[in-house]
Amino acid sequence: METFNKVEFSIVIPVYKEEGNLNRLHEEIHKALQNERSFEILFVDDGSNDDSWEIIKSLSSKDMRTRGIRFSKNFGHQYALHAGLMHATGNAVVTMDADLQHPRSVIPQLLEAWRKGSKIVNTLRIPNKNITWIKKVTSNLYYKIFSFLSGVRISPGTSDFRLLDRQVVDELVKFNESGVFFRGLVSWVGFNNSQILFQCNDRFSGNTKYSLYKMLQFAWKGITSFSIVPLRLGILIGILTSLFAFYQLIESLYLKLFTDTTVPGWASVMGLLSLLFGVLFILIGILGEYIGRILVEVRGRPRYIISETIIPSEIHGDRDISINNKDLSYTSPESD
């Protein structure tokens, strides 16, 4: 890893096609951290094909507290977070989105809780009008199912906006699995934690980078990387259907031997058969999914590739990292 002056804390921001947000975000963070002396902002460009990287370069040429890492292509939000944690130098790391949905005013609260001794400071989105009821219901349901299946509790409304102490970061970057799911891992690693509520803003510019497909993929990856309960589903359904088949067998034998009737019904047989075949294929699919995950893990390919890194000391020379806020000039208006 590069040699870099250590700072008190780092702000890690995954960026995917966020050209309309970066200048404003950078400015907002500096406003929120006016009283802080030693921090860095680390943008991780997850293979954006817009001007995001140019903007990150220009920000770091003006501000020596800003650095950047660029992926060689789009690898995904969770990997961008991982790379950010790997490269952050602070004694604490705040991770947040680039789209200004995570309000800057929460950052000082995260720091305060950390300075009081919390190793993990999570945030919880207060449900508000910006979030559609479908998103609310599906998200609540998902985290309930997730907790039930994995035994790892994640509160509904959790996002990847949080602060992690260096000790936690050092543990998290040790995880070598390719399907990293930070929301689960952060809860899994333990440590004392606290929680801060916040109102989620609207996305400032651009559209969500999580399509329905990506969202479902993310949700499924989360479950399969934390729980093997879906694999046991087959056993449960097998037991239930065997019991049912056994009952039917006894029943038809009884009717045949002791009565004049025979068991009627082509339709019922076909219905049952197709149902069971359906279930069988779903279970084979689930099995395949886990085998696929094993294959990915066994191959052990790198999870992401970094194509460029901006180290401010190369631009600015080895000056002290904690410069005065007045050195930064901004033009955009206050937002809150």
Least Å distance, CB 200 to Mg ion, is: 8
Interacting residue with Mg ion among 18, 40, 99, 165 (CB under 5 A)? 99
Closer CB to Mg ion, residue 99 or residue 165? 99
Least Å distance, CB 99 to Mg ion, is: 4
Hey, how many other C-beta atoms are within 10 angstroms of the C-beta on 183? Answer: 21
Q: Binding of Mg ion at residue 101 (CB under 5 A)? A: yes
Mark the segment that binds Mg ion (CB under 5 A) among 97-105, 180-188, 263-271, 281-289. Answer: 97-105
Q: Binding of ligand UDP at residue 76 (CB under 6 A)? A: yes
- CA angle, corner 157, sides to 153 and 163, nearest 5? 80
C-alpha distance from residue 267 to each of 261, 270, 274, 275 (Å): 17, 5, 11, 12
Interacting residue with ligand UDP among 7, 11, 80, 185 (CB under 6 A)? 80
Whole-angstrom Cα distance, residue 133 to residue 268?
40
Residue 76 contacts which entry, Mg ion, ligand UDP, none (Cβ below 5-8 A, type-dependent):
ligand UDP
Q: What are phi and psi of 219, to 5 degrees?
A: -65, -45
The arrangement of strands across the sheet holding 158-165 comes to 193-199, 120-126, 158-165, 92-95, 9-15, 39-45, 66-71, 306-310
Closer CB to ligand UDP, residue 203 or residue 221? 203
Exposure on the CB side of residue 228, measured as CA atoms within 13 A = 6
Interacting residue with ligand UDP among 10, 11, 12, 14 (CB under 6 A)? 14
Closer CB to Mg ion, residue 11 or residue 168? 11
User: Could you tell me whether strands 120-126 and 158-165 are parallel, antiparallel, or unpaired per DSSP bridges?
Assistant: antiparallel
Residues in touch with ligand UDP (CB under 6 A): 14-16, 18, 46, 74, 76-77, 80, 97-99, 101, 203, 208-210
